[in-house]
Amino acid sequence: MNQRQLAAILLTTVLAACGTPLENAASTFKEQVRLGDPDAQQTFSDNRELFESAEALPIWLDALENADSPQVQRWAATLVGNIGDPSALPALADAMSGNRALRDAAIDAIGRFDATEAAGAYVDALENGSREAQAPALAALARMGPDAASAVPAIATAVAATEALIANSAVNTLADIGTDGAAESLADLAMNTALDMNRRRSAIQALQRIDSELATAKLAEISTVLADEEGADELRATLS
């Protein structure tokens, strides 16, 4: 450790001297992380129970949202996920719009929650996050498969409401979820004449990936509807 790092840590220790053991340890840890001090890992190990307690949540939420150090923010996301309080999920969803490393940490942290809670947070990022957050949110929902069934309505909305690249990811995510609800949404998208042909074709192709009786029935329904739709030759060809 160089003299500058030591001085900064000593100053932090002095300033925190009147705090609680948790506040003092967290302040030291955050400063070590900010400075890249290798002793940070030992501080974490020595205080892990304190750092992952419910009482520590406000400290890490503040660091997640306000720290000027990306390294501290990433650690904060990890610790928030370890604590596991669902009230922190909106902050983790917001963090998905941060830099890539923070986004990855937030995605991992969200994934530690109950499936329904996690799906809701990924939907939050899909609906309210940056473009950089939307694609990873969809990828995370796709990995959840049927456990992300509650997210189907929001994903289907994204097919119509987002730009083409995100919309295509949303269509594929519905196929990966693969539930009857996902199949119904894909069929509705395929028959939605307000959508462009590329999105409708992608919806048909995604529906063809779902192996279920309902999906098969919906493909037959689409075929019947398209038989009477003018200008739908491209879509009919997708069904052949």
pLDDT digits (tens, 9 = 90+) for 93-121: 999 999 999 999 999 999 999 999 999 99
Q: Average pLDDT in the 61-71 region?
A: 97
pTM: predicted TM-score of the whole model, two decimal places: 0.88
The one-letter amino acid at 202: S
pLDDT tens track for 118-176? 999 999 999 999 999 999 999 999 999 999 999 999 999 999 988 999 999 999 999 99
Report all structural domains of the chain as residue ranges with CATH numbers, in order of start.
116-240 (1.25.10.10)
Q: Which residues of 64-76 are buried (b: 16+ CB within 10 A; e: fewer)?
A: beebebebbbbbb
What whole-number distance in Å separates Cα of residue 141 and Cα of residue 119?
7
Q: Is 69 left (phi over 0), alpha (psi -120 to 50) or beta?
A: beta
**pLDDT higher than threshold 70 for residue 60:** yes
**pLDDT higher than threshold 60 for residue 3:** no
What whole-number distance in Å separates Cα of residue 72 and Cα of residue 78?
10
